[in-house]
Amino acid sequence: MFFLKKSFLTKPGCFVFKSASKKRKRQLGVGDDDNGSDRFRIGQKLWETVQMNTEVIQDQLNKKVLDSLAEFIKKHGLGCSSDVWRQRASEIPTAALMLGVNVPDHAMTFRSLCNLLQDSVTPFVVSVHAKECAVIPVKLLIQKVLEQLMGSGVSVDEEKEDDTALLQRTPCTISALCQWYKTVTKKCIQVSPERKENLTNNDLPQSLPVVVIFKDFEAFNSQVLQDFILICSRYTQELPFVFIFGIATSPSAIQHRLPHSVSSLLCIEVFHSLSCTQHLASVFDKLILNAQFPFKLSSRVIQVLVGVFLYHDFNVQNFVKGLQFSMLEHFNSQPLSLLCCQKQEALLSAKTLSKQNVEQIRHLPSFMRYVETQEPQEQVRLLTNDEHVKEVCQTLLKNLHKYHKNYYPILQCLHSLTSSLPKFPLGKHIRELHVSCIEKNLWETEEYDSALQLLRILAKDELVAALRKCAETLKSANTKRMQNALQQLEDFIGRLETLEEDSSGNGVISAKMEYQKTDLFQLQKTLLEKESRRTKRMNSFEVLRSQVMDFIDSLVREYLTPAEFQPLNEVCYYSSSGVLRHHPFYYLKVTDHSFRLTRFYDECS
Amino acid sequence: MTVIQVFHYEQRMSVTLQCPGYPEDTLRSLADRLPCRETQLKSLLSLMGQPDQYSYPSFFIYGHRATGKSHVVLSVMKDLELPHASVDCVECVSSGLLFHQVLSAFFGPDAAALLPRCPSLSDFVRLYKQMSSNSPATQTRYIILDRAERMRDMDFSLLPALLRLQELVNDNVTVILLSEIVWEKFRPNTGCFEPLLFHFPDYSKVELVQILSWDHHPSYTPELYASYINILLGVFFSVCRDLRELRHLAALNFSKFCEPLEKGEAKESDIHKLWKNIEPHLQRAMQTVYLREVSSVQWEQQQMDEKEATTLRVLSAHAHIELPYYSKFLLIAAYLASFNPARTDRRFFLKSHGKIRKTNFLKKHEKTSNHLLGPKPFPLDRLMAIFYSVVDSRVAPTASIFSQISSLVTLQLLSQVGHDDQLDSPKYKCSVSLDFILAISRTVGFDVVKYLYDFL
């Protein structure tokens, strides 16, 4: 309970919590366990890693589009003084930023955009949200813009009797903003306060643009937008506006929302941000397909999370939240999650396991399976001697870490080999391959067979290219076994490349066939025979190729075993997808709408 | 006074631009600066009368976009240095702002600051009276209200009061309303003082050539520029008569026109050659820049790059939208619900529907194409019923399905009919096109045409 409370009070991100803990406590006997705070510490550390990593990923992904946006704004800030600009002075430069429909993810993008612009281009950045200014008269929107730019000294609510507001009352108009802008920029040039120093000292005459970011363009009332654009276009000479429209659907939304008389006042350029599926893929790479990250998800949980992403919301943040939530659940419900951390730390805590923990280890299904495979004498020791269990536990943990270290490079190898095959028998994305690998023995599936068959007919140059990619991924892995595999692979590549173009006639079937009057069955038979005879005579390339494939196959069989078969996998793997699916956090509850639906069907028939 | 009376009034005037009370050379330069608007200028001046005389209380000037209404009025005001307050009604989100601007233009910002927090019309009149008694008008004061059609959305008493402001404040003040629409659309049903109506006709083609030739490039002869303008109008006149837009286009494309001259491939007299060079280019401009599919900066860059082959990515080219899987099906279901009559749902979505003929099954009004009539509203229940029969896998009716509906509404792909606060059974309409839904259903492998009643 202590753990529950602490973690949920410190994390403002998660709020709803079904308190089924009592039942769970009885099941697992956590009640008088004292490693809660350790688990909390480990969990919190991991949580922070997740948070940090997602932010880093987001920054990396957005960097390109944000930089080009900043470039665009800078360019227009400069262009303001040139002659060409004067001719169409009333055109407002506008960037249409295509973000995709996963609206909640945009908040982070806009935040970093704001920061970037404020740091490198102009201090005058305003971002407005449709909800804040959806009312028909454009007043609220102008007010928002003014408030954010000039601070809170704007008189907004005319009915409000406020002494402080009366003192420093500025009418809520763009012309007031104009006045303010003039004084501020003058001050900027003369005094150059430290905040804007780096901006102003290099080239003073450049006027700083005023950037207005419309976060969700579609949600804005089109009348409000039109009015705002009309008003702003009247002041472009004095106030260099730049608009950024955050568009979720497609750029044609602009034309749908604005009439020609208004859109002709804009000078629109389109910017594309990365698609959310690419975003998900990089999050996946960083947080799930990473041996350094000790917390793992079982195949079912991954399927639930990815399913929610693909079928419901396209929302990467939600995916990360789901991951974090399962982490919380794991550390909360599994007392042995104490061992779910980096190798050294885990080994240390394995030495100091409490009696209870040892008992819990004995009850782990994977450990029981392990015990069954041992000699009877060893079995007795494992079941009676706590110290022995602790020692065994250490070696098992080492093995588990080793397994992970070997698993991911081989997984990537297999993916790079199979991702270019026609029809993607093992899935287009590495996550699909991962799921099927940890779910069951991959080599027993039909898809794997068909993939290998396809691989066995690859041409030489394709094969070499694919193998080179594999070698690249193996290079980054630093275990001994992987280095071994790498050496063998490079050996194969070398042999493939030095292979002489020999025996061109060998593989070709002799074109001469004795045509006789036969029925269809006979013909088929002879053809099949010929075929089988041909396959027997392979040239040296084909021999080598099948060797390579056998080698790959052996790698897969050795390293891509399902995680379930690893003893102590419960320490790292979170597997209760049911909890995840039905938790209020995920809002996947079945609503009572189905009742009304049945009524509807009744009326229909 | 009606329009006809104005014309009579006009005819009585002398042909040369002479108005007593105004300096003659200023008038002459004014007339030079306002080409093709001489008659309007003349009648406006005569209506205004001499500066110290009382003028008519209110004028109403109307005409299409870019016919020089505000330009003529404002240049007259500025050049003759008349006291005036120019207000754009788009900016006046409240009448208080209008009063504020008028007072500060006439009596300085100090006077405007005296206005109470939420000024009423009578506050304005009182303050105006008070101020004008201190500094009575020596010349007629003008209040120019641009985009006056916005005044109709403001306080209903504002327009009638402004029309007879002269009487109310007892000062030599005239209100000039500028609008793109006719006076009949303004007249309040309670009746009001009728302003003087005054029409600015569209520019003819000849006049457009004359005006556009004004801003010729200094390094080329005016004749060349005039011929360029002629070519430009030959392409664009049929689609656009907006002077502002034409000027913009002329400025954008002139460098391309001059290219052969700079390369030395043609002389200024080779009009035909120049025409051949620019004509296809202008045609392309009509499809892209004019519709703002391509921004003018991009257009210019393309000209610089000088590569005909590079096709600019136009705005409408990216119509593709990526949606979550179930959102796609929700959208398809919404489309079906919007364009199929509710009675046909049985036929499409029940397994044993029996045979229902199209002709005798339907009521008369349902026989016309539903796609011609546009989308119809449908309740949420029907949407969900269709959704569950359309989507191939078993989907639990979870909250996230419902939240997708509302996110479709924010994306403007669906629109909610009726009040937002109707929680019980909200109604929606699908607002996407057939092409869009065809593209969406292709990505999920669903043949939407098979389920559309119109295409049976």
Write the residue in B91, B313, B316 that is nearest to A231 by C-beta.
B91
A265 & A346 share domain = no
Is residue A157 assigned to a domain?
no
pLDDT of residue B143: 93
Residue B285: pLDDT band by 50, 70, 90 thresholds? confident
Is residue B385 assigned to a domain?
yes
A354 & A429 share domain = yes
Q: Where is pLDDT greater, at B65 or A510?
A: B65
Which CATH number belongs to the domain containing residue B126 in this structure? 3.40.50.300
**A312/B324 CB distance under 8 A:** yes
Q: Which positions in chain B touch A270 (Cβ < 8 Å)? A: 313, 315, 318
Q: Which positions in chain B touch A163 (Cβ < 8 Å)? A: none
Alpha-carbon distance of B79 to A345, in angstroms, equals 85
Q: Which of A11-20, A109-118, B135-144 has the lowest mean pLDDT?
A: A11-20
pLDDT of residue A529: 79
**A591/B93 CB distance under 8 A:** no
- Calculate the dihedral angle through the C-alpha atoms of B39, B41, B47, B48, rounding to the nearest 10 degrees: -170
Is residue B362 assigned to a domain?
no
A194, pLDDT greater than 70: no
Average pLDDT over residues B19-42: 85
Average pLDDT over residues A86-115: 79
B165 & B282 share domain = no
Average pLDDT over residues A447-472: 87
| B76: Cβ contacts below 8 Å, ≥ 6 apart | B30, B41, B44, B45, B48, B82
B71 & B193 share domain = yes
Q: Does the interface predicted TM-score (ipTM) exceed 0.90?
A: no
| A440: Cβ contacts below 8 Å, ≥ 6 apart | A562
Q: How far is A600 from chain B (nearest CA, A)?
A: 7
Q: Which of A400-404, A533-537, B325-329 has the lowest mean pLDDT?
A: A533-537
Residue A265: domain span? 47-151+173-181+206-274
Residue B331: pLDDT band by 50, 70, 90 thresholds? very high
**A266/B292 CB distance under 8 A:** yes
Write the residue in B118, B321, B404 that is nearest to A158 by C-beta.
B118
Average pLDDT over residues A483-498: 87
Which of B139, B164, B199 is where one domain is finished?
Answer: B199
B302 & B278 share domain = yes
Strands A266-272 and B84-88: unpaired
Is residue A460 assigned to a domain?
yes
pLDDT of residue B319: 62
Q: Compute the radius of gyration of chain B from its Cα atoms.
A: 31
**B382/A234 CB distance under 8 A:** no
**Beta-carbon contacts below 8 Å between A and B:** 159
Is residue B35 assigned to a domain?
no
**A101/B324 CB distance under 8 A:** yes
Substitution target in A86, A154, A229, A264 with the highest count of B β-carbons within 10 Å is: A264
Residue A10: pLDDT band by 50, 70, 90 thresholds? very low
Q: How far is A314 from chain B (nearest CA, A)?
A: 6
Substitution target in A90, A172, A593 with the highest count of B β-carbons within 10 Å is: A593
For B408, nearest residue in chain A (alpha carbons)? A101
Average per-residue pLDDT for chain A:
77
A406 & A257 share domain = no
pLDDT of residue A589: 42
pLDDT of residue A1: 34
Alpha-carbon distance of A370 to A361, in angstroms, equals 11
A555 & A423 share domain = yes
Q: Which positions in chain A touch B181 (Cβ < 8 Å)? A: none
pLDDT of residue B355: 59
A582, pLDDT greater than 90: no
The DSSP-derived string for B262-295 is HHTSS-TT-HHHHHHHHHHHHHHHHHTTTTTSS-
For B289, nearest residue in chain A (alpha carbons)? A264
Strands B427-430 and B414-417: antiparallel
**B411/A101 CB distance under 8 A:** yes
CA dihedral (B247, B249, B251, B254) positive or negative:
negative
Alpha-carbon distance of B454 to B94, in angstroms, equals 49
Q: What type of residue sits at position A285?
A: D
Tokens read off for A601: 């069907």
A212 & A339 share domain = no
Q: Which positions in chain A touch B219 (Cβ < 8 Å)? A: none
Alpha-carbon distance of A35 to A341, in angstroms, equals 14
B339 & B382 share domain = yes
Which of B168, B183, B199 is where one domain is finished?
Answer: B199
A389 & A494 share domain = yes
Write the residue in A142, A268, A593 that is nearest to B295 by C-beta.
A268
Closest by alpha carbon to A436, among A453, A463, A414? Answer: A414
Which CATH number belongs to the domain containing residue A121 in this structure? 3.40.50.300
Contact B324, A312 (CB under 8 A): yes
Is residue A291 assigned to a domain?
no
Residues of chain A above pLDDT 90, percent:
1
Closest by alpha carbon to A301, among A309, A293, A292? Answer: A309
Is residue B26 assigned to a domain?
no
Q: What is the pLDDT of residues A149-179, one digit of tens each?
A: 877 544 444 444 444 444 345 677 888 888 8
**B295/A267 CB distance under 8 A:** yes
How buried is residue B385: exposed, middle or buried, by Cβ count under 10 Å (0-12/13-18/19+)? buried
Q: What is the pLDDT of residues B355-395, one digit of tens each?
A: 555 555 555 566 677 888 889 999 988 998 899 888 877 77
- In the block, tokens 């703002």 appear at B292
A363 & A252 share domain = no
- Helix, coil or strand: residue A266: strand
Is residue B30 assigned to a domain?
no
**A267/B296 CB distance under 8 A:** yes
B337, pLDDT greater than 90: yes
β strands within B380-447, DSSP E: 414-417, 427-430
Is residue A489 assigned to a domain?
yes
For B319, nearest residue in chain A (alpha carbons)? A250
Residue A133: pLDDT band by 50, 70, 90 thresholds? confident
Beta carbons within 10 angstroms of residue B259's beta carbon: 17
B336 & B295 share domain = no
Beta carbons within 10 angstroms of residue A484's beta carbon: 11
**B292/A255 CB distance under 8 A:** yes
Which of A274, A299, A314 is where one domain is finished?
Answer: A274
**A174/B91 CB distance under 8 A:** yes
Alpha-carbon distance of B399 to B266, in angstroms, equals 70
Residue B90: domain span? 47-199
Average pLDDT over residues A255-283: 85
Degrees, nearest 5: CA angle B297-B302-B305: 130
pLDDT of residue A244: 92
Closest by alpha carbon to A552, among A431, A409, A347, A446? Answer: A409
B238 & B262 share domain = yes
Task: Produce one character per residue of B209-244: b if its CB has 16 or more CB atoms within 10 Å, e if not.
Answer: bebbbeebeeeeeeebbebbbbbbbebbeeebbbbe
B181 & B308 share domain = no
Strands B196-199 and B378-379: unpaired
Regarding pTM above 0.90, the answer is no
**A588/B398 CB distance under 8 A:** yes
Is residue A585 assigned to a domain?
no
Contact A347, A552 (CB under 8 A): no
Is residue A326 assigned to a domain?
no
**B385/A601 CB distance under 8 A:** yes
Is residue B90 assigned to a domain?
yes
pLDDT of residue A586: 54
Is residue A603 assigned to a domain?
no
Q: Which positions in chain B touch A174 (Cβ < 8 Å)? A: 91
The tally of domains found in chain A comes to: 2
Is residue B130 assigned to a domain?
yes
B111 & B138 share domain = yes
Which of B199, B229, B256 is where one domain is finished?
Answer: B199
Closest by alpha carbon to A205, among A75, A73, A70, A80? Answer: A80
Residues of chain A above pLDDT 70, percent:
77
Q: Where is pLDDT greater, at A558 or A588?
A: A558
Q: Which positions in chain A touch B398 (Cβ < 8 Å)? A: 587-591
Q: How far is A68 from chain B (nearest CA, A)?
A: 15
B178 & B233 share domain = no
The tally of domains found in chain B comes to: 3
Is residue B14 assigned to a domain?
no
B212 & B294 share domain = yes
Q: How far is A227 from chain B (nearest CA, A)?
A: 6
Beta bridge partners of A94: A243, A268
A199, pLDDT greater than 60: no
Write the residue in B292, B346, B385 that is nearest to A264 by C-beta.
B292
For B249, nearest residue in chain A (alpha carbons)? A88
Average per-residue pLDDT for chain B:
82
Write the residue in A98, A103, A266 that is nearest to B407 by C-beta.
A103
Q: Which positions in chain A touch B90 (Cβ < 8 Å)? A: 138, 227, 230-231
End-to-end CA distance of chain B: 62
Is residue A535 assigned to a domain?
no
pLDDT of residue B329: 93
